[in-house]
Amino acid sequence: MLEITAQLLIHNIDRALVLGRNSDKFLAAKEEWQRRHINLGKDDKRVTFVQCDLGDIFAVKEAADQVRSLGVTTNYERSPQGVEMVFAANCVGHQELVTLLLPLLKRTANQHSESREARIVVTSSSLHSVCRTLDFNQLTTPTRVMPMHPYIDGFWRYCRSKLGNILFTRELARRIEQEGPNANNIYVNVFFPGNIVTEQWKAWDEYVGTTLGAVFRYVFSIIGQSTQDGAATAVYLATSDRIRVDGIRGQYYIPIAKPDATTDIGNDPVLARDLWVRILTFRPL
């Protein structure tokens, strides 16, 4: 995501907010941007770091309040709201954050001119295709779905969360389209950045073990995409005039900037709507 931010800065984005649990990687990225001659002054407001733990709805609300005022393990954990942590961080937190910021996005998209617009770009994965069913009751179980196979279970939970990202995008797009003129200038789409071997790929050791994790990294370092290729699709969805001209919403893209089909379950409007409603029940009373 920090490479995407770098590309947006190169394309003269007005403002970017980087959300994360802590600022360490953000500060390291700023040093890397400096080496690439992307200069940010001490008080440069083009990029702002916002601390946000997407696994905790309370933390998401605090981050959303801050905005308005201006990776995952095999350990089976649940969020403070009782949701399996991978799904909480990748899906529940995202839906809550966007829901809280949607009024601001509407105002931003409509307060200046007809050409003013807002874009929401969601990251998913081709691995969403691994998850062919979605049992809502399993989102809050106190133990693993596959207790005898922790690596398979951790891998499957990640794939399930990536399916959730696609369903969230579909339903958000539907809701935006239903709102009519007030949301005409908001475009939401989802993309798979590609198989990009970065430091974050070491987290796969926790899903599939160190040996298979090393094999994954080696193979995809040969056949996968570069960080620039991965960022290109996100930048296209965030900036291309074609998205506005063609009214593209709720679509799934793969490298580089190509629309693609998802699995049948990833294109199920009823399931997308039901998941949205179910996630709403995780909100604190």
Catalytic residues: 158
Q: Are 155 and 207 in contact (CB under 8 A)?
A: yes
> What is the DSSP track for 14-66?
S-EEEEES-SHHHHHHHHHHHHTT----TT--SEEEEE--TT-HHHHHHHHHH
Sign of CA dihedral 255, 223, 164, 15: negative
User: H or E segment at 120?
Assistant: strand 118-123
Phi, psi of 22 (to 5 degrees): -145, 170
* CA gap 91, 55 in Å, rounded: 9
* Residue with the two structure tokens 């969360």: 161
* CA gap 15, 9 in Å, rounded: 9
